[in-house]
Structure 1
């Protein structure tokens, strides 16, 4: 039996659909604004900044922040996943190109991102959150692009023949710790130098 529609359904009107799409678009923009603001404030001022202050700086109401992120931990996780998704987008763009050394560009960006978000990552670790578990598809996509770009660099003779994607990902994680140990999180040039020294170890002829 076919479902009979009511004689007049305002929600089914073109205007209502346009309004719903606009509302969803506004909600997405507000969420993105909150995430970007939170990431900046966490990096600049630490984790003690309140959700209400993040809302004020983002130009949205406190209710908007609390609706999307009911706790500080939920916001930490969302910020980290958002940054991971941005890295995947950058990786996809690099994979679409033809630069044989693109893997070094991606790994450098990953290290810089880790340094910029080290405070949030530390909070997630303390709360026993693992991004590979919380966002397995995104993490797998990033690892896949690293593998693809590493293979390209290996074919071009730019990286050691024996280095594996797992080892490269471990080096990136180690770079986060090295940058933090050197207290270089807020010094992009120094963080980049430390990352560069680490990456030199996977270049062809480095043994």
Structure 2
């Protein structure tokens, strides 16, 4: 007898994807106070379907954060061999900020619920994302596109600060582009 979970049926997979898509939109609008009932209604599935996939609100939050983190890690991986390491690094930074805005409230809710974000699938996704970001950073530094005194702690702090500011101040695309341009100027080597 195997301990691995049985694969989901096709309809269950579709429902899961639909619930996650709708949940992201509802959470972006209503925050962590969003109701599972409203998510089910907008996803056009029964409430029992939502709870079968995500037995708690925290399980739903964790699935969303894990999926988003995997997407960011995948972006890092896809840029890892880019022929222009500087452009690849800055493209990744922009993608990470754009994709992560709004995640802080979910991560905070998980921490408040006692969920270890460094364990399980989310922990694996976090490690993959950080590993990919580090490869991009090192390649950009070796190419002379990013200052040498920039490390992963600084990168994490800058991305987190940009995400938090974008979330709290509701940055539009134009403002995000200008602010990230200023960040990127500060990351460039001093001549």
Same fold (TM over 0.5): yes
2:179 to 180, 194, 203: 194
How far residue 130 of structure 1 moved from its aligned partner, in angstroms, is: 4.7
Residue number in structure 2 paired with 1:7: none
What are the superposed Cα offsets for residues 34-90 of structure 1, whole Å, 9 maximum, x if unpaired? Answer: 111101111123222211211121122211110111111211111111111111122
Q: CA RMSD in A?
A: 2.4
CA distance in 2, matches of 1:193, 1:116: 20
Tell me how far apart the structure 1 counterparts of residues 171 and 105 of structure 2 sit (CA, whole Å). Answer: 11
The partner residue of 2:88 within 77, 80, 102 is: 102
Residues of 1 paired with 2:58 and 2:177: CA distance? 29
Is residue 53 from structure 1 mapped to residue 33 from structure 2 by the alignment?
A: no
Asked if the contact 2:68–2:100 (Cα under 8 Å) also holds between the matched residues in 1, the reply is no
When the two structures are aligned, how many residues end up with a matched partner? 184
Matched residue SS, 2:149: coil
Tell me, in whole angstroms, the C-alpha distance in 1 between the residues paired with 2:184 and 2:65. 23
Aligned position for 2:58: 73
Larger CA Rg, structure 1 vs 2 = 1
Tell me if the contact between 1:35 and 1:82 (Cα under 8 Å) persists in the aligned partners: no
Report Cα offsets for 1:18-47 as digits up to 9, x if no partner. xx97x6232222212111110111112322
- 8 Å CA contact 1:33, 1:58 repeated in 2: yes
Residue 132 (str. 1) matches residue 118 (str. 2): yes
Contact 2:73-2:130 at 8 Å conserved across structures = no
Cα separation, 1, equivalents of 2:17 and 2:164: 28
Cα separation, 1, equivalents of 2:59 and 2:47? 15
Deviation of 1:141 (Å): 0.8
Structure 1 gap ranges (5+): 1-19
Matched position secondary structure for 1:104? helix
CA contact 1:184–1:191 (8 Å) conserved in 2: no
**1:82 counterpart (67, 79, 94):** 67
Q: State whether residues 77 and 132 of structure 2, in contact with CA within 8 Å, keep that contact through their aligned partners in structure 1.
A: yes
Name the CA distance, whole Å, in 2 between partners of 1:186 and 1:61: 35
Relative to structure 1, the CA distance from residue 131 to residue 92 in structure 2 (aligned partners, 3 Å threshold; closer, same or farther) is same
Structure 2's unaligned 5+ residue stretches are 1-5
Report the TM-score, using the length of structure 2 for normalisation: 0.82
Aligned to 1:17: none
Give the equivalent residue in structure 2 for 1:157: 144
